[in-house]
Amino acid sequence: MKNRKQLTRGNLILIILIIIIIISLIIGFYTMKNKNTKKYKAFETELKTAAENYYIIKGLGLKNGEEKKITLTALKKQKLVSNELKDKCAGYVIASSERDNYTNEYDIYYYPYIKCDNKYISPNYSEY
């Protein structure tokens, strides 16, 4: 007897089910990844706001063109950070006095950076 390789209705249903399962897994993976990324971005935003408040509370100022680093530890000591990630991540905020090219006036900008194990690292994060 010859074994014919035919595509039967059962084989077709099995192939379709496998394809649906693979697509579902891929969609689930990307959904979880986006959810986690949003959580870390929210933490970065909270750090930025905390750094702005830290400078107001401490009465600190920046000279034109100057940068200062505010650590997550300093923000936690002032109880300015309440996010659940504050104990799971390392981080800092760079406060920078930069000149606006249109108005020629200096404004202070805050740039938050975090590192949460191998799960998330802000672009341009530095250990130094």
**pLDDT tens for residues 93-125?**
999 999 888 888 888 899 999 998 888 888 888
- Kindly write down the DSSP assignment for every residue of 21-53, as one continuous string: HHHHHHHHHHHHHHHHHHHHHHHHHHHHHHHHH
Check residue 15 and report its DSSP letter: H
Q: What span, in angstroms and rounded, lies between the C-alpha atoms of 128 and 125?
A: 9
* pLDDT in the model for residue 99: 87
* pLDDT in the model for residue 34: 67
Split at pLDDT 50, 70, 90, the class of 1 is very low
pLDDT beyond 60 at 41: yes
